[in-house]
Amino acid sequence: MPNKTKIKSMEREAIELLKKLIRLPSFSGEENKTADTLQVFMENNGIQTSRYLNNVWATNKYFNSDLPTILLNSHHDTVKPNATYSRDPFLPEIIDGKLYGLGSNDAGGALVSLLTTFRYYYENKKLKYNLIYAATAEEEISGKNGISSVYHTFPPIDFAIVGEPTLMDLAIVLDCISYGKSGHAAREEGDNAIYKAIRDVEWFRTFSFPKVSETLGPIKMSVTIINAGQQHNVVPSICKFTVDVRTTDAYTNEETLQIIQQHVQCEIHPQPDGLRPSAIQIQHPFVQAGIKAGRKTYVSPTTSDQALIPCTSLKVGPGDSARSHIADEFIYLSEIENGIELYITMLAAIIKTDFK
């Protein structure tokens, strides 16, 4: 059985660490202070760390290259505070069992809970899996200096747990250009690029991909930005529009793009670093461990670093996705405590430790 006295002590330390992190602005690309704090905390607790830019990670003390490896990953960057905050977003306050502060829910609770789980198992000599804990940067912007910049330095990862207050589904973004020919509007000259774009926009609105994912459902496409024309009496020769495509595991991103190109006339430019859909089989031992612990499975409509991790992964963590990015963000202390205990219990079903 897990050592509950040890866990309770670590839970208190996790909450104090999260309060320290809340006090430090850590907008995407500006996470150096929270990276410093996490690194110092880990080193002070006897954990040898590695760091690149604002990403901090560590392996379990008795890492064995002959064993498979599980990655425990969450992020320490935040969005900028909502303009409607009624309290100081950088002041951690505990009121009625709620810890308020920017980043408390997304994803501070998961960040410190996974770190606590890693600490719990850090010195265990009888693990059947290695563990890597990674506190990464730029998740909120899917930035190139986040998990993507360090994942290749890790040993082969067999499975990843991505700490977020929600679970699974992703986006690629297409920049589209329709071309026409300029002319004077009064004389009905030229070939109006807007009219040509309308046909493609309507296709994006109405098309249904034949294959539907059993876990993620159908691919969703939404035109989100459109721009054309410079003055009222000139027929525009160019119309640019952007399409948000929520891909699934039914098609690769490349297959999705190929199908789109077969149906539209516009020129398509996928934005770089397209995110990829993530899925995990219900039969996976970690999923089954969660079900046995009374947890429900569901499909997440939000993206995360899970989209940038090229291995089997599951997004799970304390907190509520509905509280992410809202004013007066908070997480219940009980959610952190339960999250730590659940992570430890679910992992035990895989790594089969003796808990000592």
Residue 120's CB is within 10 A of a number of other CB atoms, namely 22
Q: Please tell me the predicted confidence (pLDDT) of residue 296.
A: 43
Q: Please tell me the predicted confidence (pLDDT) of residue 288.
A: 56
Residues 221, 286 within the same domain: no
Each residue's pLDDT, cut to its tens digit, for the chain (356 residues) gives 678 888 989 999 999 999 999 999 999 999 999 999 999 999 999 999 999 999 999 999 999 999 999 999 999 999 999 889 999 999 999 999 999 999 999 889 999 999 999 999 999 998 999 999 999 999 888 789 998 899 999 999 988 888 887 532 333 445 788 888 876 555 566 788 899 999 999 999 999 999 987 756 788 888 888 989 888 888 889 999 988 787 776 887 788 889 999 999 999 887 655 545 445 454 555 555 545 555 444 344 444 444 456 556 677 778 777 787 789 999 999 999 988 988 888 788 778 655 44
Of 270, 287, 306, at which residue does a domain stop? Answer: 270
CATH number for position 193: 3.30.70.360
Radius of gyration from C-alpha coordinates of the chain: 23
Count of residues making up the chain: 356
SS3 (DSSP) at 244: strand
SS3 (DSSP) at 259: helix
Q: Please tell me the predicted confidence (pLDDT) of residue 259.
A: 94
Q: Please tell me the predicted confidence (pLDDT) of residue 300.
A: 41
Residues 19, 160 within the same domain: yes
Q: Please tell me the predicted confidence (pLDDT) of residue 320.
A: 79
Residues 60, 157 within the same domain: yes
- Pairing, β 159-162 against β 313-315: parallel
Q: Which residues are CB-neighbours of 44 under 8 A, at least 6 positions away?
A: none
In a domain, 356, yes or no: no
Report the candidate in 111, 244, 263 with the shortest Cα–Cα distance to residue 200: 263
Of 270, 286, 314, at which residue does a domain stop? Answer: 270
Residues 137, 34 within the same domain: yes
Residues 39, 82 within the same domain: yes
Residues 229, 256 within the same domain: yes
Q: Please tell me the predicted confidence (pLDDT) of residue 316.
A: 74
C-alpha 222/C-alpha 277 separation (Å) is 17
Of 270, 303, 324, at which residue does a domain stop? Answer: 270
Q: Please tell me the predicted confidence (pLDDT) of residue 301.
A: 43
Residues 256, 295 within the same domain: no
- CA torsion 260→266→271→272, rounded to 10°? 80
In a domain, 111, yes or no: yes
Residue 97's CB is within 10 A of a number of other CB atoms, namely 10
Residues 313, 221 within the same domain: no
Which residue spans within the chain are E strands per DSSP?
50-52, 55-59, 69-75, 93-95, 98-100, 130-136, 159-162, 172-179, 183-184, 220-228, 234-235, 238-246, 267-270, 313-315, 330-332
pTM: 0.66
CATH number for position 144: 3.40.630.10
Q: Please tell me the predicted confidence (pLDDT) of residue 213.
A: 78
Count of domains observed in the chain: 2
Any idea which residue has 């009496």 for tokens?
233
Q: Please tell me the predicted confidence (pLDDT) of residue 1.
A: 62
